[in-house]
Amino acid sequence: MTEPHIAPDDRVVFRAFYRPDTVDAASLLERIETYLIERGTSATVFGRRALNDPSLIFDLRKGRRVTRRTVSRVEAYLAREVRA
């Protein structure tokens, strides 16, 4: 998502939209990476099963920030899978 910004010379430029409700996912990604290694699951399969987002892990590795709701959903998925 981007939001327009008017530059001083009246040009319209776009900059990334920052959502204040996002968090850094470094610790979450670390837990996911451990899970992937232990279970032998691919990043694509994990993302699709956890959030229906096959690019989730690849995006997290590139620094994607996530909402608290997303963190909760991934943690719930991990909890379910660990019990299974």
Q: Up-side HSE of residue 28: CA atoms within 13 Å toward CB?
A: 28
Would you state the pLDDT for residue 20? 74
| Residue 47 · residue 54 · CB < 8 Å | yes
Which residues lie closer than 8 Å to 39 by C-beta, 6 or more apart?
A: 81
* In the chain, where the domains are located: 20-83
Mean pLDDT of 28-52: 96
pTM: 0.74
What pLDDT score does 29 carry? 95
For residues 47-57, give the mean pLDDT. 96
Using CA atoms, how far apart are residues 65 and 8, in angstroms rounded to an integer? 30
Give me the residue label for tokens 């019990």.
83
Residue 22: the pLDDT is 80
